[in-house]
Amino acid sequence: MTDDDLQFDREHIWHPYTSVTHPISVCPVESTDGVHLTLTDGTVLVDGMASWWCAIHGYNHPALISAAQDQLQTMPHVMFGGITHKPAIELCKRLVEMTPKPLQTVFLADSGSVAVEVSIKMAVQYWRCKGNDNRRRLLTVRNGYHGDTFGAMAVCDPENGMHSLFRGVLLEHIFVGAPACGFHDAWDESYITELKQALDENHQDLVAIILEPIVQGAGGMRFYSPDYLRRVRELCDEYGVLLILDEIATGFGRTGKLFACEHADVVPDIMCVGKALTGGVMTLSATICTEEVSHTICDKGVFMHGPTFMGNPLACRVACASLDLLATGEWSGQVARIENRLQEGLQACTEMSAVANVRVLGAIGVVELKEPVDMHTLQPRLVKEGIWVRPFGKLVYVMPPYIMSDDDLAFLCAGIRNVVAEL
Ligand SMILES: *Cc1c(COP(=O)(O)O)cnc(C)c1O
């Protein structure tokens, strides 16, 4: 990449959540391999982000590359309307098999946000097909993140989401406080009082409760008790409201279980998966629902959604290869090992003056600071340590590829300690 390239980038290209008139500096990456990013100037960074949680097997995994190459030769894409193909069937078979048993019907979409839109449409159509047109709203908790499209944005945290920017345009849903009980905290029924009361007052208006199970990701990197989720499931049954679990960030082993809902032994009516679905190679997501949901909708009509690139064979084929890697079961030991290494490596941050809290669950490590970070200075400082970590707000966090070695994990944690110690 030349200086001209970077100049063009600054002037003409929007990066996520950025300005083209006040651009932030971006890192020119030349190539990826394993757990490493190689920059144009030859610098090699240990990647703590797995490209926003996706590259769980590391970059350029030979099994994923060869699946993609093979599929490219025969059929990179074909429409899914009126047509089917083996990569989609194989993928949906695996998804039905690996998710909790009641989840039986799969809708393939292109991104996490769209999978969330689809889940909301399923919930709305479900109630309309049951002859109930009055239900229009969702109930959720604060500090959630479900994506950047309109339906998804409306259930993101009202403050750190984009509600003020889009006021008057977004649907208004019902919010209760984020779960206050940490992952390991002993259960007390008072933790669920507010949600229960909101259900009690609003259940006849609700199509569903939507939550990220156990880990709230981009809305605050918070971990909460499986008992909370268990109670939510019970209350949904009691009040006759559907439960949508957004496993887009947590799915495929990240929290130590294949799906985070397994921590609580609950099954949603509708589950969204995305991010790590293709091991970080292609964009793909899925919304999987129970037969109660799919059959109720289809007894009266059809499910109304159909993206152009739905069921893209290339993406499906790579996803199959990624799920086959997960099927070896190796991820489980890898994630448990990463959990231990992150605990050891980040523990020392607890003592630092800038730090409010350190928490680790599965292959997720979070150092929460007392004040929001200044990305203009912090990002280059992290790069100088030889690590790729992208903090937001008060959160310096890592979500490494599952294959990261103990040495690289130690290096990653040391880099974070060095940087946070200076704050
Ligand atoms: C990332 C994320 C999404 C949105 O996925 P995109 O692929 O970015 O549209 C939705 N829900 C959760 C929990 C996520 O982490």
Residues 85 and 135 in one domain: yes
The number of residues in the chain equals: 423
Domain end among 274, 294, 327: 327
Contacts of 2 (CB under 8 A, 6+ apart): none
Domain end among 270, 292, 327: 327
Q: Which of 29, 43, 36, 42 is nearest to 58 (CA)?
A: 36
* Residue 306 belongs to a domain: yes
Q: Which of 255, 275, 284, 390 to mutate to test the pocket of ligand 1 (most atoms within 8 A of CB)?
A: 275
Q: How far is CA 294 from CA 51, 125, 306, 385, 387, in A?
A: 33, 10, 15, 50, 45
Annotated catalytic residue within 3, 17, 41, 133: 17
Domain end among 327, 352, 375: 327
* Residue 65 belongs to a domain: no
Active site residue 126: no
Annotated catalytic residue within 59, 126, 145, 228: 145
Residues 134 and 265 in one domain: yes
* Residue 56 belongs to a domain: yes
The crossing angle, in degrees rounded to 10, of helices 86-98 and 313-327 is 40
Give me the pLDDT at residue 44, please: 98
* Residue 313 belongs to a domain: yes
Q: Which of 51, 108, 116, 254 to mutate to test the pocket of ligand 1 (most atoms within 8 A of CB)?
A: 116
- For residue 344, give the 3-state DSSP assignment: helix
Residues 255 and 130 in one domain: yes
* Residue 67 belongs to a domain: no
Cβ of 144 below 6 Å from ligand 1: no
pLDDT in tens, the chain (423 residues): 999 999 999 999 999 999 999 988 899 999 999 999 999 999 999 999 999 999 999 999 999 999 999 999 999 999 999 999 999 999 999 999 999 999 999 999 999 999 999 999 999 999 999 999 999 999 999 999 999 999 999 999 999 888 899 999 999 999 999 999 999 999 999 999 999 999 999 999 999 999 999 999 999 999 999 999 999 999 999 999 999 999 999 999 999 999 999 999 999 999 999 999 999 999 999 999 999 999 999 998 999 999 999 999 999 999 999 999 999 999 999 999 999 999 999 999 999 999 999 999 999 999 999 999 998 899 999 999 999 999 999 999 999 999 999 999 999 999 999 999 999
Cβ of 274 below 6 Å from ligand 1: yes
Q: What is the CA angle 243-248-250, rounded to 5?
A: 90
What is the Cα–Cα distance from 251 to 254, expressed in whole angstroms? Answer: 6
Count Cβ neighbours within 10 Å for each residue of 247-262 and write b for 16 or more, e otherwise. bbbbbbbbbbbbbbbb
- For residue 266, give the 3-state DSSP assignment: coil
Residues 15 and 91 in one domain: no
**Burial (Cβ within 10 Å: 0-12, 13-18, ≥19) of residue 207:** buried
Q: How far is CA 141 from CA 63, 79, 145, 258, in A?
A: 39, 37, 10, 23
Residues 316 and 333 in one domain: no
CA-based radius of gyration for the chain:
21
- For residue 108, give the 3-state DSSP assignment: strand
Give me the pLDDT at residue 380, please: 95
What is the Cα–Cα distance from 275 to 157, expressed in whole angstroms? Answer: 20
Give the dihedral sign, CA 255/257/263/265: positive
Annotated catalytic residue within 191, 275, 394, 408: 275
What is the Cα–Cα distance from 183 to 133, expressed in whole angstroms? Answer: 37
422 C-alpha to center of ligand 1: Å?
A: 32
Active site residue 145: yes
* Residue 201 belongs to a domain: yes
Q: What is the largest CA-CA distance in the chain?
A: 62
**Domain containing residue 353: CATH number:** 3.90.1150.10
| Under 8 Å between Cβ of 420 and 355 | yes
* Residue 291 belongs to a domain: yes
Tell me the H-state helices in 257-312: 291-300
| Residue-by-residue DSSP string for 310-339 | TT-HHHHHHHHHHHHHHHTSHHHHHHHHHH
Residues 121 and 240 in one domain: yes
* Residue 233 belongs to a domain: yes
Residues 79 and 174 in one domain: yes
Cβ of 176 below 6 Å from ligand 1: no
- For residue 123, give the 3-state DSSP assignment: helix
Partner residues linked to 44 by β-bridges = 38
Residues 43 and 81 in one domain: no
Residues 290 and 149 in one domain: yes
Number of domains into which the chain is organized:
2
Supply the range of the domain harboring residue 242: 75-327
Residues 241 and 118 in one domain: yes
User: Does pTM surpass 0.95?
Assistant: yes
Residues 173 and 47 in one domain: no
What is the Cα–Cα distance from 102 to 242, expressed in whole angstroms? Answer: 14
Residues 106 and 232 in one domain: yes
**Domain containing residue 110: CATH number:** 3.40.640.10
